[in-house]
């Protein structure tokens, strides 16, 4: 028979647990790089950060110091990172823009001087107006504590009107839909460059599906490594992209020297004239092709918080020049080879065709690497935007992992699987980049329109009324033109992107509506009505402890009253006795790196209502934060020390075992609710069942949480009374047989 532990033995056993568990008794403060920079910036004196004795005397030095102490600071290392993170998508556009243009014009033979210079003029001025002026110079000045993107923008503006949820949801859904097509488009267009290599050209002629197979293998590899994190290989992304842009600039300039006349495309009138001329075989759909040149513009804004605004300001002019040189070089090649009989029956890709065979080998290798980097950037962006949508209660709470030491790098298994499967379907459905281009771009035009609406609203409420009017007229109008041109190819592939956008939007809408309906039916008790029963249960030694601490994870915002769902859960079936009951909610703050909490103890030392406020960029790691809160309450005397005689997983000697409980709702048949509300709730519960428990999102899945189901009563109607039918007494007299 085992002997009970003495006090000294229990202390030794408790101390030894530190040797075999990674969970510390006290929670250490770990800040991300962005948080450390934000904290230092807030602590510094904005007027004189280094004191009067260290203030530079030269004007240039003072300007540099102000730059480095503000939000536009620059560093060479982060500028290199920005190249790999921000410009992957827009940097691969030269692979397919000119080829898509030739496809719309009916081949190279129809690409005369006016057509080519008109197309280049539209590309140049689209990049200038949309990417440089709208996004780099205007949108990037509208940040939420340094963070960009449509959800960060909505978090900044939602206090001004409930209707702002509409453009934010639509824009976010379209951005995620675009994330499905970008990997397939970028990598397939690069792999197709293998068909231009003389040594293996015949292999691809004999096996027409070989490029699709190679692209699928690369895509499977890209999605497979997401679970391991990309921190190590991410360090070389910037260097690869730097070489890629240098290659674009050099090859473009070499071909540009063969025909300087294409510089006439710098005149915007040439683009407008060609768009409405009879030489334009594609009509308004040409603008859909032109839009492909700026598909990565939204990434500049959404990734601003990762790399810093100043680093984008520094690197964008270099990237812009490289892109323009490459486009104009392709234009010069098209004019010089318009009547080349070699391309009379085939549709060439000017990007690869303008190079010599030996240079093409380098181009294919670099383009494949650039395509992978572009895909990685969009995949990581999809993880981030889903995580932010979850924080806004627009998507189900899914498991989030952090595979790298960099906390900002997320991995969501469900999103990774769905995104990977959808990308493979896109590739199998459309076969090559030429047909994928028909579906590409439509969703992103929607995102840009919604971003323009939100930025206009921000400028208006920032008392920049004239700027808001000018911005709201010019840029949304241009983006609507791009949208209409993309709709011209709706039946050729745009329908696929539209379906994905609508599907994601339905998930966001139903989840948001279902959450609102659940909140409306939530009921509360006054603390003086709930405390007596809880006090009796707390002191009733005849009932064994269910756990030292029972933690209910809830979305309830009420702090001064007791949630009836939690109260009846405690007393349902067998009463759940504990040393302390906790109701814990996590609220997403409008700032990116907020870490705050509030506590209401209702005048007791056994009932606590905790609200944790976390920035929209931070994970919801409830166990780690809750241990910190409990220790704070022990120090303040609000919570008694919970001495534990036996070892436990978290190795915290002052806090007893914790049992986490989640309460799910089920819609009852007799609930009085509109058909739309019932549909929203049923859809929400179906989605929740498919993607997993929110316990994973809250970080409590490894702690064996308990999930309870309670009926959701929404104005339940009393059913008609049943009529009792009395049974006839059984005749047991044998004479009557």
Q: What is the distance of C-alpha 446 from the center of its chain?
A: 16
Q: Do residue 271 and residue 372 come from a single domain?
A: yes
Q: Do residue 506 and residue 556 come from a single domain?
A: no
Q: Do residue 101 and residue 35 come from a single domain?
A: no
Confidence check: pLDDT of 497 > 80: yes
CA distance 732 to 451: 84
Q: Is residue 725 part of a domain?
A: no
* Average pLDDT value for residue range 414-427: 90
Residue 422 structure tokens: 């959808």
Question: 18 in helix, strand or coil?
Answer: helix
pTM for the predicted model, two decimal places = 0.77
Residue 551: the pLDDT is: 94
Out of 481, 514, 547, pick the residue that ends a domain.
Answer: 514
CA distance 159 to 215: 45
Residue 320: the pLDDT is: 95
pLDDT class of 31 with cuts at 50, 70, 90:
low
pLDDT class of 180 with cuts at 50, 70, 90:
confident
pLDDT class of 238 with cuts at 50, 70, 90:
confident
Residue 58 structure tokens: 């030269």
Containing structural domain, residue 584 = 525-712
Residue 387 structure tokens: 């995580």
Residue 458 near residue 157, CB atoms below 8 Å: yes
Which burial class, exposed, middle or buried, applies to 637 when counting CB atoms under 10 A from its CB (0-12, 13-18, 19+)? Answer: exposed
Q: Is residue 732 part of a domain?
A: no
Q: Do residue 117 and residue 42 come from a single domain?
A: no
Q: Do residue 626 and residue 698 come from a single domain?
A: yes
CB-based contacts of 602: which residues, under 8 Å, 6+ apart? 527, 531, 562, 609
Q: Is residue 370 part of a domain?
A: yes
Out of 68, 90, 114, pick the residue that ends a domain.
Answer: 68
Of the candidates 229, 218, 403, 234, the residue with the CA atom closest to the CA atom of residue 303: 234
Q: Do residue 267 and residue 205 come from a single domain?
A: yes
Q: Do residue 530 and residue 583 come from a single domain?
A: yes
Q: Do residue 532 and residue 434 come from a single domain?
A: no
* Count of structural domains within the chain: 3
pLDDT class of 2 with cuts at 50, 70, 90:
very low
Q: Do residue 593 and residue 660 come from a single domain?
A: yes
Half-sphere exposure of 612 (CA within 13 A, CB side): 27
* Average pLDDT value for residue range 446-466: 90
Residue 288 near residue 96, CB atoms below 8 Å: no
Q: Do residue 478 and residue 615 come from a single domain?
A: no
Q: Between 161 and 359, where is the model more confident? A: 359
Return the minimum-mean-pLDDT range out of 25-39, 55-69, 137-151, 711-725: 25-39
* Average pLDDT value for residue range 126-149: 87
Out of 514, 538, 564, pick the residue that ends a domain.
Answer: 514
Q: Is residue 317 part of a domain?
A: yes
Q: What is the pLDDT of residues 519-567, one digit of tens each?
A: 878 888 888 889 999 999 999 999 999 989 999 998 888 888 898 889 9
Residue 659 bridge partners (DSSP): 550
CA distance 303 to 691: 27
Return the minimum-mean-pLDDT range out of 259-263, 386-390, 699-703: 699-703
Q: Is residue 363 part of a domain?
A: yes
Alpha helices, H only, 622-693: 622-636, 675-691
Q: Is residue 687 part of a domain?
A: yes
pLDDT, averaged across the chain: 82
Q: Do residue 37 and residue 123 come from a single domain?
A: no
Q: Do residue 62 and residue 81 come from a single domain?
A: no
Return the minimum-mean-pLDDT range out of 7-16, 102-111, 237-246: 7-16
How many Cβ atoms sit within 10 Å of the Cβ of residue 36? 11
Confidence check: pLDDT of 110 > 80: yes
Confidence check: pLDDT of 502 > 60: yes
Q: Is residue 154 part of a domain?
A: yes
Q: Is residue 365 part of a domain?
A: yes
Phi, psi of 340 (to 5 degrees): -70, 120
pLDDT class of 186 with cuts at 50, 70, 90:
confident
Supply the CATH number for residue 188's domain: 1.20.1740.10
User: Which of the given ranges, 23-37, 46-60, 176-190, 268-282, has the highest pLDDT on average?
Assistant: 268-282
Residue 38: the pLDDT is: 56
| Alpha-carbon distances of 615 from 144, 172, 584, 592, 706, rounded to whole Å | 11, 19, 17, 4, 27
Residue 438: the pLDDT is: 74
How many Cβ atoms sit within 10 Å of the Cβ of residue 599? 17
């Amino acid at each position: 028979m085992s002997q009970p532990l003495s006090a000294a033995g229990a202390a030794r056993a408790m101390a030894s647990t530190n040797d075999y568990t990674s969970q510390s008794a006290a929670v250490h403060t770990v800040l991300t790089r962005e948080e450390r920079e934000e904290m230092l910036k807030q602590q510094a004196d904005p007027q004189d950060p280094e004191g009067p004795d260290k203030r530079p005397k030269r004007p240039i030095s003072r300007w540099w110091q102000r730059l480095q102490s503000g939000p536009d600071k620059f560093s060479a290392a982060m500028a290199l990172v920005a190249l790999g993170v921000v410009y992957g998508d827009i940097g691969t556009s030269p692979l397919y823009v000119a080829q898509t243009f030739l496809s719309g014009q009916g081949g190279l033979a129809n690409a005369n001087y006016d057509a080519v210079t008109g197309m280049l003029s539209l590309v140049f001025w689209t990049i200038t107006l949309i990417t440089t002026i709208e996004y780099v110079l205007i949108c990037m000045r509208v940040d939420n504590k340094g963070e960009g993107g449509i959800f960060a923008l909505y978090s900044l503006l939602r206090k001004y009107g409930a209707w702002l949820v509409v453009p934010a949801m639509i824009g976010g859904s379209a951005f995620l839909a675009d994330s499905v097509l970008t990997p397939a488009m970028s990598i397939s267009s690069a792999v197709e460059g293998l068909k231009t290599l003389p040594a293996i050209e015949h292999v691809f002629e004999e096996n027409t599906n070989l490029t699709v197979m190679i692209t699928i293998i690369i895509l499977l590899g890209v999605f497979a490594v997401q679970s391991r994190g990309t921190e190590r290989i991410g360090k070389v992304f910037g260097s690869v992209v730097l070489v890629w842009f240098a290659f674009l600039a050099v090859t473009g300039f070499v071909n540009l020297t063969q025909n300087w006349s294409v510089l006439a495309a710098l005149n915007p009138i040439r683009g407008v004239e060609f768009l409405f001329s009879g030489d334009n075989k594609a009509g308004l759909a040409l603008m859909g092709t032109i839009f492909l040149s700026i598909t990565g513009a939204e990434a500049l804004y959404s990734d601003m918080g990762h790399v810093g605004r100043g680093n984008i300001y520094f690197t964008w002019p270099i990237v812009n020049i490289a892109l323009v040189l490459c486009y104009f070089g392709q234009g010069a090649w098209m004019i010089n080879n318009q009547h080349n009989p070699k391309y009379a029956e085939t549709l060439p890709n000017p990007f690869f065709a303008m190079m010599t065979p030996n240079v093409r080998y380098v181009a294919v290798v670099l383009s494949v690497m650039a395509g992978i980097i572009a895909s990685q950037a969009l995949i990581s962006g999809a993880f981030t935007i889903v995580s932010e949508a979850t924080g806004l209660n627009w998507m189900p709470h899914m498991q989030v992992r952090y595979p790298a030491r960099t906390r900002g790098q997320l991995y969501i298994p469900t999103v990774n699987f769905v995104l990977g499967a959808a990308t493979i379907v896109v590739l199998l459905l459309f076969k090559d980049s030429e047909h994928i281009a028909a579906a590409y771009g439509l969703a992103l035009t929607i995102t840009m329109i919604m971003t323009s609406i939100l930025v206009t609203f921000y400028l208006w409420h920032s008392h920049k009324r004239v700027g808001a009017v000018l911005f709201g007229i010019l840029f949304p109008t241009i983006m609507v033109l791009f949208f209409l041109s993309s709709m011209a190819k709706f039946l050729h592939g745009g329908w696929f992107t539209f379906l994905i956008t609508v599907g994601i939007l339905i998930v966001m809408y139903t989840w948001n509506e279902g959450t609102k309906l659940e909140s409306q039916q939530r009921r509360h008790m006054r603390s003086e009505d709930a405390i007596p029963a809880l006090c009796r249960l707390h002191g009733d030694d005849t009932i064994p402890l269910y756990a030292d601490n029972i933690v209910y994870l809830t979305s309830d915002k009420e702090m001064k009253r007791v949630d009836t769902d939690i109260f009846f859960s405690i007393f349902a079936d067998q009463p759940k006795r504990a040393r302390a009951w906790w109701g814990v909610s996590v609220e997403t703050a409008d700032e990116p790196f907020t870490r705050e909490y509030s506590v209401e103890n209702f005048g007791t030392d056994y009932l606590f209502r905790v609200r944790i406020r976390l920035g929209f960029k931070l994970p919801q790691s409830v166990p780690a934060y809750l241990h910190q809160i409990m220790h704070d309450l022990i120090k303040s005397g609000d919570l008694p020390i919970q001495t534990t005689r036996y070892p436990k997983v978290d190795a915290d000697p002052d806090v007893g075992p914790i049992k986490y409980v989640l309460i799910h709702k089920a819609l009852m048949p007799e609930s009085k609710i509109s058909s739309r509300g019932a549909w929203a709730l049923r859809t929400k519960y179906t989605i929740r069942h498919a993607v997993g428990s929110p316990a994973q999102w809250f970080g409590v899945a490894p702690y064996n949480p308990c999930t309870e189901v309670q009926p959701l009563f929404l104005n339940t109607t009393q059913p008609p009374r049943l009529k009792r039918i009395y049974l006839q007494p059984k005749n047991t007299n044998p004479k009557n047989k």
